[in-house]
Structures are given as C-alpha cells and as structure tokens.
C-alpha cells in the first residue's frame, strides 16, 4: 500500500510548510496525482488521517485531483490519451512513445490559519 508512504511524506511536508508559514492549523491540502501513480483516493485519505494525527495537519480536508495520462508519439508527433491498457499511438500505432502526463505528484496549495 504505497498510499501510506506517500501520505506520511505529505503529512511531514504539510507540517514543515505550516511551521515556515506560521500556520497553527492546516484546514485543507490541495494535491494532484497522475493517473499512473495509481492512488486510491479513499485509501489515501485514510492513510493521511493516520499520518497527520497529532500534527498541525490533523483533520485537514484533502482535495485530490487525478491528472489523466497523456502520451506523445515519437513517430507522428501526436499527443493522445491512452485507451485502457493500450499505450500505443492511437493515430499511427507506434509503440515508441513518451509519457507527457500521468506520473505527477504535487501539492498545489495548503490552506490554514
């Protein structure tokens, strides 16, 4: 369950940022995950609740955005969204592709007072 490890890292980042910003309480954390990170939002929220216990982030609401995967073909240059498990180019069928979006993991903002 990689959600727990990521949630622990997030709770530590939230606490560090809150200390730097002089926040006494974090109310909301806005976070984005790429589709291929394969986070289960409900599991991640439960893991974050545990990881943030007894910290400034305890009870903070999580707003999770899932960023859809997007590929770019080396052959024809097309950008496309993969269909299911198939990642080959939807235009020319080439399997020489790059992942443009889908592996991101970042905190967009932290709200508190």
A 10 A CB-CB count for 87 gives: 15
What is the tens place of the pLDDT at every residue in 18-45?
999 999 999 999 999 999 998 999 999 9
Chain mean position to CA 109: 12
Specify the 3-state DSSP secondary structure of 98.
strand
Do 31 and 10 form a contact (C-beta atoms < 8 A)?
A: yes
Q: Where does 2-112 sit in CATH, by number?
A: 3.30.2320.80
Predicted local distance difference test score (pLDDT) of residue 1: 58
Q: Does position 104 have pLDDT exceeding 90, yes or no?
A: yes
User: What are the CA-CA distances from residue 71 to residues 5, 32, 93, 96 (Å)?
Assistant: 27, 18, 12, 10
With a pLDDT cut of 70, the percent of the chain lying above it is 98
- DSSP 8-state symbol, 42: H
* Average pLDDT of the segment spanning 82-108: 89
């Amino acid at each position: 369950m990689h959600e727990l490890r990521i949630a622990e890292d997030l709770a530590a980042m939230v606490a560090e940022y809150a200390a730097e910003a002089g926040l006494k309480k974090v109310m909301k954390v806005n976070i984005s995950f790429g589709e291929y990170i394969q986070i289960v939002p409900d599991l991640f929220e439960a893991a974050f609740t545990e990881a943030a216990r007894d910290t400034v982030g305890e009870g903070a609401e999580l707003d999770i955005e899932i960023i859809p995967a997007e590929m770019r073909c080396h052959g024809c240059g097309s950008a496309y969204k993969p269909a299911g498990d198939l990642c080959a180019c939807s235009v020319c069928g080439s399997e020489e592709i790059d992942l443009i979006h889908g592996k991101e993991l970042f905190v967009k903002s932290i709200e508190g007072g």
